Amino acid sequence: MATLPQLIEEDIQELESILGELLANSEATTALVIDKGGFLIHSHGDSAQFDLTTIAALASGAYLANQTIANLVHEENFDSVYQQGEKFSMLVINVDQYCLLVLIFPAVISVGAVKYFAVRSGVRIATQFEKAHQRDPSGGLDLSVLNIANTSELFRKGKTKKKSA
């Protein structure tokens, strides 16, 4: 699995902005950015009524199982997983080599409309992750090695200032 770039406050602020716009445009309830190991990186929207940590882990598992099914039917990739419910539905889309975007939305909203906005937001998220990677190409995190359930504080530090000689 790829190593997640080290994210700083600037990256988290951009994710917050992207997810806020996504929820406003798509009318989804909650948006999550998760790493492919199932760790929650950032969320926006209604977090009180959902167990986001567990959803992140299970959504990642569902996506990875979906990829295995794609290989079995001779597809290189299924880029999303859609689960339809009576009250809420969930869409998981691949963002890049590091992460997935998860959207929880009322079941009455069209998945096509949600996916339209999600794909556009996914491109912006991938761009921000690339900026983070370029900041420190040899650095990064493997959240599974860190073995922490709540990663939210991990991404709150700002840019480090270089000392003058």
Please state the domain extents for the chain: 9-137
The superfamily CATH assigns to domain 9-137 is Dynein light chain 2a, cytoplasmic (3.30.450.30)
CA 114 from centroid of its chain's CA atoms: 15
- The Cα–Cα gap between 137 and 112 comes to 36
pTM of the predicted protein model: 0.82
pLDDT at 8: 87
8, 68, 57, 65: which is closest to 32 by C-alpha?
57
pLDDT at 92: 98
pLDDT at 19: 98
pLDDT at 160: 46
pLDDT at 147: 53
Angle of the 9-26 helix axis to the 111-135 helix axis, nearest 10: 170
DSSP string, 110-127: -HHHHHHHHHHHHHHHHH
- Per-residue pLDDT of the chain (165 residues), as tens digits, is 457 888 888 999 999 999 999 999 999 999 999 999 999 999 999 989 999 999 999 999 999 999 999 999 999 888 999 999 999 999 999 999 889 999 999 999 999 999 999 999 999 999 999 999 898 766 655 444 445 555 555 554 444 444 444
